[in-house]
Amino acid sequence: MNAFFLRQQIRVLGSTPPEERNQNIVVVGASFAGYHAARIMARSLPRNSHCRVVGLPSRVNATDKAEGMKLLREFQTSIQIAKRIVVVGGGAAGVELATDAKSKYPDKHVTLVHSRNAPMHLWASRLQKAALEGLERLRFAKLSSNSIASTGHIKVNPNLSIKDESFSDRVYICGDVADTQTPNPNARSAMLQGSVVADNILLAIKGRKPRHVYKNHWLQGFIKLTLGLDRSVSLFGNGKTALLFNSREKREDLMAAQGWKHLGAKPFVDEPSSHKLC
């Protein structure tokens, strides 16, 4: 409801011009958790906010050269106007992007987040050492390896901020990568985590302390498994008890339209006859 009134207010009163939005909220990954968090924040930013929600692309989402160049220039502009830059992943692309940005904009606060003790960890130790020395020369902020759980997940606080004092309440983790002890990770749990992250970031933007926490919910123990095009089984369980239901499916799309709606897209509307099983 708040998001609705904010959108109406922006429509009537206008919002901060794009060129004045010089603070980026960076969302890495656009699956259920990342997309859901980004969507909530983009719709709920205050009218006069200087923040904007941006994503980090792993590839140019264009098939035309001119369009691809345009998208890359827009990405360069977002780096240029940002005060803080976070690059996730210490492989070749991450190291090069981070060091290029720091070299070109030495006064910016650039952080490289990597889950291993050294960048380029799949390569020879001499290259790892050279990469680390290059990062140290450019005075990069470091993510403590203590933030990585033994399972490879990133440790988080109850409010889903990263468990690292250097980044407290400035970096949030949600989805499969977060160490939330979720018994059955799925889209439902990812979206719940995305909501918590989005709400806490919006509070931080307003100068308030993040207060929303994530707790595993019993609904995360629910799964529907299709067994062919005409039947399925649904399970409710909490690790101790379980209920199993058998069902018949009447539509071949198997609720695909709901998936489209969750991702903010309008599903295709077909004639009813096209949904009949062959």
Q: Look at residue 7 in the predicted model and tell me its pLDDT.
A: 52
Tell me the domains of the chain and their CATH numbers.
2-82+143-216 (3.50.50.60), 219-275 (no CATH)
- Each residue's pLDDT, cut to its tens digit, for the chain (278 residues) gives 454 555 555 555 555 665 566 677 777 766 678 877 887 887 777 766 666 666 655 456 666 778 878 888 888 888 888 888 888 788 888 888 888 888 889 888 888 877 777 888 878 888 888 888 888 888 766 656 678 888 878 899 999 998 887 776 788 999 888 999 887 788 888 888 999 999 999 898 888 888 999 988 777 778 878 787 778 888 877 667 778 888 887 877 767 777 777 767 777 655 555 544 44
- What's the Cα-to-Cα distance from 142 to each of 23, 117, 163, 212, rounded to whole Å? 21, 10, 13, 26
Three-state DSSP state, 126? helix
Task: Tokens for 94, please give them.
Answer: 């991450």
Q: Please tell me the distance from the alpha carbon of residue 23 to that of residue 128, in angstroms, as a whole number.
A: 32
Residues 6+ apart with CB under 8 A from 102: 108, 110, 138, 139, 140
**Ramachandran class of 228: left when φ > 0, alpha when ψ lies in -120 to 50, beta otherwise:** left
The two structure tokens encoding residue 198? 């989005």
Task: Let me know how long the chain is.
Answer: 278
3-state SS of 222-239? EEEEECCCCEEEEEEECC
CA angle 83, 88, 93 (to 5 degrees): 100
